[in-house]
Amino acid sequence: MNPIIDQFFSTFFNQIGLIPASEHCAKNGCGFMMVPESELGGGSLWTYPVNTYCSITIYHLKYYKDIHYCYHHPAMLVVSCSSAAIAEAVSPVSNTNSEQLLGYYLPDGEHEYTVPAGAALDSIGISFLPEFYEKRLFEIYERDFSDLPQIASMLDGNTEIPSVSMVFRQIAAYKPTVGTSELYYEAKILELIAELIEWHTLIEKAPGVKSIADSDIEAMHRLVHFLQQHYCDCLDVQSLAKMCLMSKSKLSYLFRSVYGSSIIEFVQSLRIERAKELLADSTYRIGEISSMVGYGQQSSFTGVFKAKTGVTPNNYRKLQQKK
C-alpha cells in the first residue's frame, strides 16, 4: 500500500472517526472512500495513491462535535485548495475566502489539532513524500526541485494563482478510470508543479516587486478575488482603479509586477478556462457559452479562445468528446 495512505489508515483516519464506505461509494473502483461514523458527522473523504510518493485527497466533511487528533505524521509536503476552516489549522494568515490555496511542509513527528464542530472541511489536496521532489523528479528531468517546499509555503491562503486553482478544479471534476487515472493524475500533478515554479519565477523576476508595500500587495490580492467572482462582467481598468483607490497607471503597474500579466490578460485567462469547462462538460451552444463568460460577440470570444488555446471553441469541444 502507498506509504502515505498506510500511515493515515493506521492512525489518522481512526482518530477522526473515518471508516471505509461501502464499495458502491467508490469512484469507479479507484482509490479509497471513507466516511465519518454516523454519530460523529457527515460527508466523505476520497484518497487515491497516484504512485509510491504522492497521493490525491478530496474531502467534504462536517463533524457534529469537536474531534481531537494526535498522531505521528511522516515528513510530507501538502499543496491544496481548501476551505477557511482548513486554512485556520495550517496557515498563520487568516481570511474568509471560500477557497484558499495552501502549501505547507509537515516534518516527521507528532501533530495535534482539534477539529471544531460544525466547520466546513472542504479540500482538494496533493501530498508528496520528500522522495518525490528530491529524487524522482530529478531523475526524470535532471533539475533541482528541492525548492518546491519553499515555493509551496508561499501559498498562505491569500495568494491567488488562477492556473493552479484551475488544476485543482480539474482534478476534482475528473472521473477516474482503472488503468488510466494514475496517468491523468500524475500529469495534473506535474502541471501544478510547473505552474507553481513559473509563478514563483515571475514573482522573483518582476521589477520592483520586492519593494511594493504590503498594503498594495494586499490590494492586488483583493482585486484578484474580485475578478475571480466577476470575470464575466463588463470590466474596465479605470473603474477597477477607482475601486482600488489608486490611479489607473499605478494599478496597471502593481498588477503586472505582482502577477506577471495585465489585468485584461488575467481576465481573459479566467474566461477561457471557464469556457473550456463548459465546452467539455455541458451542452450549451457556443454562442451561449460566449455570453456566459463575458463576451457580447461570439466572434470576439472565438478569436480570444483560439489565440489562447490554438483551436476554435467548436474544435476544442470535439477533441474533448473524443477523450
126-140 pLDDT per residue, tens = 999 999 998 899 888
Whole-angstrom CA distances from 36 to 4, 14, 71, 87, 292 are 20, 10, 18, 21, 38
Report the 10 Å Cβ neighbour count for 300: 12
Through-space distance between the first and last CA atoms of the chain, rounded to whole angstroms: 30
| CA–CA gap between residue 21 and residue 24 (Å, rounded) | 8
Look-up: residue for cell 495550517? Answer: 90
pLDDT score for 207: 53
In the predicted structure, residue 184 carries a pLDDT above the cut 60: yes
pLDDT score for 248: 84
* Whether the Cβ atoms of residue 97 and residue 225 lie closer than 8 Å to each other: yes
What is the tens place of the pLDDT at every residue in 104-157? 888 887 878 888 999 999 999 999 999 999 889 988 888 888 889 888 888 888
For the ranges 48-57, 150-159, 288-297, the lowest mean pLDDT is seen at 150-159
Distance of CA 285 to the CA centre of its chain: 28
Which has the higher per-residue pLDDT, 155 or 206? 155
Q: Which of 13-22, 69-78, 226-235 has the highest mean pLDDT?
A: 226-235
Q: What fold is seen in the domain 208-322?
A: Arc Repressor Mutant, subunit A (1.10.10)
Please state, rounded to an integer, the average pLDDT across all residues of the chain. Answer: 86
pLDDT score for 258: 80
If pLDDT is split at 50, 70 and 90, which confidence band does 227 have? very high
If pLDDT is split at 50, 70 and 90, which confidence band does 217 have? confident
Residue 136 has what DSSP assignment?
I
Q: Where in the chain is the domain with CATH 1.10.10.60?
A: 208-322
E strand intervals along the chain: 18-20, 32-36, 41-49, 54-63, 67-73, 76-82, 100-106, 109-115, 121-128
Q: Please give the model's pTM, rounded to 2 decimal places.
A: 0.65
Q: Average of pLDDT values for 28-40?
A: 88
